[in-house]
Amino acid sequence: MLEIKNLALAFGDLKLADNLSCCLEPGRTHVIIGPNGTGKSSLLKTLFGDIRPQQGEIVHNHKPLDYAHLNHWRQAFGYMPQDIHLDVNLTVLEVVLLGQLNALSLKLNDQLLTDALDALTQIGLVHLANRDVRTLSGGQRQMILFAQALMRKPEILMLDEPVSALDLHYQQVLLEHLDTETKARNWVSIVVLHDLNLAAQYADNLLVLKDGNLVAQGSPADILTAELIQEIYGVASDILYDSDGIPFIRSQRLHKVTASGVSNT
Ligand SMILES: Nc1ncnc2c1ncn2[C@@H]1O[C@H](COP(=O)(O)OP(=O)(O)OP(=O)(O)O)[C@@H](O)[C@H]1O
């Protein structure tokens, strides 16, 4: 269990979280949504220990984050940040293996190689194993970094906009795999997404952030309403439901086109 207690976050005069508290249970995919610049990435960086909060505490399995022992804290994490820099002279397999790099030593053995190839196989990219990562497309790099995060076999997996460069097929491959592994291995998985429909499909627990604060939390079917979307994004939408009761959000155009021209709605 990962607990966030009374968190306050700020960059100088810019206040983000104010008094944010929540409990993120293992075995569930926790999806964070919210507008640009609202503090989603900053929250992940804070959980990882990159940003120190003004106030509050982060506790994993009853142990608080101790900044004097960050390396130890981070051993529980697989973290795929938003900014992807992969300008290194390494093969795909080597980059995936780096997921097991702890304390700057990597003792390569057959089991690690098998795990890395398995991770690539499971996401359908084993054919790229020997390619130089610099020659990959943006989406392929994103998938490889996902495989690297999986290699850590983390207790807490954090993915910041992991599908932003992916096509429809690989969006589903990544999130389906995440869902399966999260439940099978009892991970606390935390994913930032902008696509509300993907969030509705894959979130066991949806967290809605606005101005750094948690304004709603729960199952997508319970909390994703047209009113909430209007409040958070300033966009009108229609909510439909599929046969499983999962909401499907169709946003409306900001300016309606009518027979007599364009009107503001
Ligand atoms: N190191 C920093 N110093 C100062 N301000 C920062 C820093 N990092 C982020 N910010 C500001 O904090 C706010 C939140 O940024 P953050 O990246 O957490 O937002 P986000 O919700 O992840 O946004 P997006 O959806 O656009 O990726 C933004 O206004 C950003 O400009």
> Per-residue pLDDT tens for 184-232?
999 999 999 999 999 999 999 999 999 888 999 999 999 999 999 999 9
Burial code (b: 16+ CB inside 10 Å, e: under 16) for 136-158 equals beebbbbbbbbbbbbbbebbbbb
pLDDT for position 105: 57
Ligand 1 near 11 CB (within 6 A): yes
| Number of the ligand 1 atom closest to the C-alpha atom of 43 | 18
Predicted model pTM: 0.93
Q: Hey, which of 11, 31, 36 would you mutate to test ligand 1's pocket, going by the most ligand atoms within 8 Å of its Cβ?
A: 11
Q: What 3-state class would DSSP assign to 68?
A: helix
Ligand 1 near 40 CB (within 6 A): yes
218: left (phi over 0), alpha (psi -120 to 50) or beta: left
Q: Which domains does the chain have, with CATH numbers?
A: 25-51+61-219 (3.40.50.300), 225-265 (no CATH)
**Distance from residue 177's CA to the centre of ligand 1 (Å):** 28
pLDDT for position 244: 92
pLDDT for position 257: 64
d(C-alpha 63, C-alpha 47), whole Å: 13
With 0-12 CB in 10 A as exposed, 13-18 as middle and 19+ as buried, what is 226?
middle
d(C-alpha 126, C-alpha 47), whole Å: 32
Residue 149, both tokens: 């995060």
Report the relative pairing of strands 2-8 and 55-60 from DSSP bridges.
Answer: antiparallel
Residue 52 · residue 7 · CB < 8 Å? no
Residue whose CA is closest, atom 18 of ligand 1? 39
Using 70 as the pLDDT threshold, list the residues of the chain that sit under it. 102-107, 257-265
